[in-house]
Structure 1
Amino acid sequence: MSAANMADSPFANQTFTEKLSSLPAILWDNRGLFVLECRIIFAAMACIYIGSHGALRRPPSANPPKRGKKGESRDRRDEEEPFVQGLLPSDAILFPVLAGVILVGLYYLIKWLEDPDILNKILKVYFSTMSLASMGKLFADSLHILTGFIFPTVWTTKAGKLYHVDQSKRGQWHKADDSADLVYDDKKKTPLPGRWSKLSLSDASNKFLWEVRHLLLEQWTIRLSIHGIANETFKVKFNDILGTVLAVGVNVLYYTTESTFLSNVMGYAFSYVGIIIMSPITFGTGTAVLFGLFFYDIYMVFYTPFMVTVATKLDVPIKLVFEGPTKASMLGLGDIVLPGIFVALCLRFDHYMYYYRQRKLVPVELKLEDESSGQLVSSTKTQRMVVKPDYVSPQGQWGDWFWSTGLSKALSPDATPALKASAFPKTYFYAAMVGYLLAMIMTLAMLLVYRHAQPALLYLVPGVVFATWLTGTVRGELREMWAYTEDGRLDTADTIVDVDGDGNVIDVVKNDGKIGEKQKTTTETEADAKAAEETASTADKAEKKVEESKRKAVDGKGKRYPVFLFSIEAPAPGAVNDS
């Protein structure tokens, strides 16, 4: 879709040079429209910024997080979340074709119905149903951020003393000045940060606050069982449940009202989730897909009536609409999501390079066996093995960053390992965001000059793509950019490589030898851990089977199974998740 301005032009007969020279006067005469466009630019950039951070996952240049002890559950934010949709190079052709078919179909459907209200009602039902998951995700993540601000895990005093909130002992501690001993502050009995930590509350009130923190931060369990169809168990948090309930309520209100605000909220949700779950996989694929849609957008806006007609006739959340006293302006969700997934790729590449630069090349001895001469000949050869750093999740650190980081360290927080990991250099991300901003400003300028709907991708695609590749050229990292992929090929362990005299990796060597007995690879370690886990799992299953047999023998009622079961289980009062 494209940015559009619904206003008449008093400069329609001027040449391009005259219009451009009259741009300051146009901006002043259209102050209201300028404010509307600034709101749209801010909304689009905020959605891309937050969505890109929400799309962060463990990069293939880092080792998976260490497993917790048996019986400990892991936070859902630390789990591996694969992309739902990865784009292929063929999508550069397929996307514009499919988009064109849908757009033309909607255009002629509107013309055939003559009254778009019928189609709007049908699409409202469709979008209300399809947006439940998107809005649930948006609301849940917003509540997680809000919870982090109210109940952070660390905070810093004005004097620079760092306090940790300890849920297990329901107190707050800091480290002693001259040692590593933990000192619990008896005056801070609440789980609140800052000045609120010293509130003089009753024991019952303090207990209530700790229990609220416990219920909001610990995992709940949802069980769904339908005999012969599904038997699933989900680990969620209370905010995920509340976000789903809020999503249902907003969908009902949207269907029963004509609220532009609710339509925009649903548009935000679609854009946010789209940026999170979609990935171009590689920079080459992302560039090809964006330029395919670049030509599609130009053709549909400038040479056909399809785009503008569908955008203005359909009152459904496929665009963001901001209304002023006399004018209105809109931006299609495609102008947020499509550049947004490329910007998110840039942020994940920054994340990848952060761990890539921390890898170590450890010398190992390979035992080589050669039978070409008819006899088995063994020899050893020293090679280099890539050892990846351990991964620390940067997700969910907004509250801790706010409460524990001063202005001097706003861009380099170091209060906790997670905060330090969240402050990785974001060179490509910022370059792409600046390119997006400049392109949106150019779109606004052309909108005011020509007073006609503008294909925003005409400016956004070159702005984002060229800014990214130019950054790689200046930094001398085009090879790394071209080789980067999210299809899993880089997610390997114990990689043997050839290096040059300066210690730079030349090529990956296929490991046909055997690493010496004194060296134990990460793969072997993971295999041992997996075998131990399977052994423990087998023992647990056997123990459960014995208990089940005993239970059957006692009640004498034989085997039972749930026909339909749905339950929401809260964490036990006082239970603590140490993972």
Structure 2
Amino acid sequence: MDSPKVTIIVVKTDMALNIAARDVVNIIVAQATENVKENATNATGKPPSTPEGMAVAYGSIVIMALLPIFFGAYRSVNYHKENKPEKMTKKDAAIFPIMASCALVGLYVVFKLFSKEYINLLLTGYFFFLGVLALTHLLSPVVSKLVPAAIPNIPFHITFKQGEGELAQYLINYRFSSYDVVSLAACSLVGAWYLIQKHWIANNLFGLAFAVNAVELLHLNNVITGCILLCGLFFYDIFWVFGTDVMVTVAKSFEAPIKLVFPQDLLQNGFAANNFAMLGLGDIVIPGIFIALLLRFDHSLKRQTKTYFHAACLAYFLGLMATIFVMHVFKHAQPALLYLVPACVGTPLLLALVKGDLTALFKYEDSPEEKIEEKKKDEKSNKPEAKKVK
């Protein structure tokens, strides 16, 4: 009798980062609950912050939210030119809110059945590994320039190949240099800082790295796909925040660097401050990958200006400010996508209508969707199988 078929996973650097980014996004979307924390006295007994402290905190949150979108979008353009990134199809976008809902309910059940201390211990190790990789990928070019010239930049290439000739397939194909090793060591120190103290600065470094990498690596294929994804998550966010206590329960139990935080009492207590305003990474990454698509569309128009990208960034800023304003008026945490999705989708569509680019906007594709489906089928059919055991 033939032995069961064994699927061998192909591991490459960009593919591993892409999978990690997608994995993180699934979790942060499923958990992105208290998008911006209320500043009034809460259950922990923390006193309300001063107006100055709140202004510093929310201003910093807004700036930190814009930076990953800006840099991640430009990195996505370069990544698209140099690689063939995996793209989200309309079908993927349609089922994504369902997958996120399943992940959310799964986390809710797990936290109800098991001790959250042990679960968070496991998640801490998982996000330490992902955080160090993401931060290394982000900072490696910067760290490499700071390494003294006395240290030689020695290239390395690790390969593991199956088969010979035209049938050969690389199971591992990883290039790096000694400078990358230095960058990895430096980022590991940040990871150790996070493991030991869970300090908010270390949390933000990991959070920013996750957000930039996700915007860079996760590509929407066209505007229609982006609209399907954002509209689906628009209703997802409203339902799970206002309709049930599932999201709030998970958010209060889940400890991981999947949100950006900034202390509102920084002016009073310095770096030991602990009364935080926060923004979930899902509220950065989801609009961010759509804004990155608009930047690639701007590049395809061959114009001197990045009109749609800049307009979407401005819309995102205004949507985030509207979230904060409504939260303070009603004294209740708000689902940020309720305000960000109409702003980020409606603004470029209205601008395209005014400028006469609406047809070009909807026709634009990074690559035809039929080719994406064919590529996925080819990858499935070309997966190596284990040899039969007699």
Q: What range describes the TM-score normalised by the shorter chain of this pair? A: 0.7 to 0.9
**Corresponding position of 1:122:** 122
Instruction: Please give the secondary structure, in 1, of the residue aligned with 2:78.
Output: coil
Q: TM-score, normalised by structure 1?
A: 0.51
Sort the Cα spacing of 1:128 and 1:482 in 2 relative to 1 into closer, same or farther, 3 A. same
Cα separation, 2, equivalents of 1:226 and 1:246: 28
The one-letter code sitting in structure 1 at the alignment partner of 2:157 is R
* Residue 263 of structure 1: how far off its partner (Å): 1.8
* Residue 243 of structure 1: how far off its partner (Å): 2.4
Matched, 1:50 2:71: yes
Cα pair 2:221 2:369 within 8 Å, conserved: no
Cα separation, 1, equivalents of 2:349 and 2:179: 39
* Residue 132 of structure 1: how far off its partner (Å): 3.5
The one-letter code sitting in structure 2 at the alignment partner of 1:107 is Y
Sort the Cα spacing of 1:117 and 1:233 in 2 relative to 1 into closer, same or farther, 3 A. closer
Cα separation, 2, equivalents of 1:271 and 1:436: 15
Stretch deviating more after TM superposition (261-270 or 306-315): 306-315
Matched, 1:476 2:352: no
Cα separation, 2, equivalents of 1:91 and 1:336: 20
Cα pair 2:79 2:216 within 8 Å, conserved: no
Greater relative contact order, per chain length (Cα 8 Å cut-off, separation 6+) = 2
**Corresponding position of 1:318:** 258
Cα pair 1:5 1:451 within 8 Å, conserved: no
Sort the Cα spacing of 1:339 and 1:225 in 2 relative to 1 into closer, same or farther, 3 A. closer
Cα pair 1:280 1:286 within 8 Å, conserved: yes
Pick aligned residue for 2:207 from 267, 275, 284: 267
**Corresponding position of 1:16:** none
* Residue 324 of structure 1: how far off its partner (Å): 2.7
**Corresponding position of 2:299:** 351
Cα pair 1:55 1:277 within 8 Å, conserved: yes
**Corresponding position of 1:8:** 40
**Corresponding position of 1:134:** 134
The one-letter code sitting in structure 1 at the alignment partner of 2:242 is F
Instruction: Please give the secondary structure, in 1, of the residue aligned with 2:90.
Output: coil
Instruction: Please give the secondary structure, in 1, of the residue aligned with 2:318.
Output: helix
When you count strand as a share of all residues, which structure comes out higher? 1
Sort the Cα spacing of 1:473 and 1:233 in 2 relative to 1 into closer, same or farther, 3 A. same
Instruction: Please give the secondary structure, in 2, of the residue aligned with 1:330.
Output: strand
**Corresponding position of 2:11:** none
* Residue 251 of structure 1: how far off its partner (Å): 2.4
* Residue 270 of structure 1: how far off its partner (Å): 1.0
Root-mean-square deviation (CA), in Å? 3.0
Cα separation, 2, equivalents of 1:352 and 1:241: 36
**Corresponding position of 1:427:** 307
Sort the Cα spacing of 1:51 and 1:215 in 2 relative to 1 into closer, same or farther, 3 A. farther
**Corresponding position of 1:181:** none
**Corresponding position of 2:84:** 82
Sort the Cα spacing of 1:58 and 1:52 in 2 relative to 1 into closer, same or farther, 3 A. closer
Sort the Cα spacing of 1:223 and 1:307 in 2 relative to 1 into closer, same or farther, 3 A. same
* Residue 238 of structure 1: how far off its partner (Å): 5.5
Matched, 1:330 2:278: yes
Pick aligned residue for 1:342 from 290, 311, 336: 290
Cα separation, 1, equivalents of 2:175 and 2:64: 32
**Corresponding position of 1:37:** 58
* Residue 483 of structure 1: how far off its partner (Å): 1.0
**Corresponding position of 1:485:** 365
**Corresponding position of 2:231:** 291
Sort the Cα spacing of 1:237 and 1:472 in 2 relative to 1 into closer, same or farther, 3 A. farther
Instruction: Please give the secondary structure, in 2, of the residue aligned with 1:320.
Output: strand
Sort the Cα spacing of 1:111 and 1:347 in 2 relative to 1 into closer, same or farther, 3 A. same
* Residue 5 of structure 1: how far off its partner (Å): 1.8
Pick aligned residue for 1:460 from 337, 340, 349: 340
User: Please, which runs of 5 or more residues in structure 1 have no aligned partner?
Assistant: 11-26, 60-78, 152-208, 358-423, 492-579
Sort the Cα spacing of 1:266 and 1:294 in 2 relative to 1 into closer, same or farther, 3 A. same
Structure of larger gyration radius: 1
Sort the Cα spacing of 1:52 and 1:342 in 2 relative to 1 into closer, same or farther, 3 A. same
**Corresponding position of 2:156:** 222
TM-superposition CA deviations, 1:284-321 (whole Å, max 9, x none) = 11011001000000111111112222223222112112
TM-superposition CA deviations, 1:325-376 (whole Å, max 9, x none) = 273211111101000001111111111111xx6xxxxxxxxxxxxxxxxxxx
Q: TM-score, normalised by structure 2?
A: 0.74
The one-letter code sitting in structure 2 at the alignment partner of 1:347 is L
TM-superposition CA deviations, 1:433-485 (whole Å, max 9, x none) = 00000000000101111121110000111111111111211111111111110
Matched, 1:443 2:323: yes
Identity of aligned residues (%): 32
User: Please, which runs of 5 or more residues in structure 2 have no aligned partner?
Assistant: 1-31, 43-47, 164-169, 266-273, 372-390
* Residue 37 of structure 1: how far off its partner (Å): 1.4
The one-letter code sitting in structure 2 at the alignment partner of 1:222 is F
Instruction: Please give the secondary structure, in 2, of the residue aligned with 1:90.
Output: helix
The one-letter code sitting in structure 2 at the alignment partner of 1:140 is S
Sort the Cα spacing of 1:313 and 1:232 in 2 relative to 1 into closer, same or farther, 3 A. closer
Cα separation, 2, equivalents of 1:334 and 1:297: 10
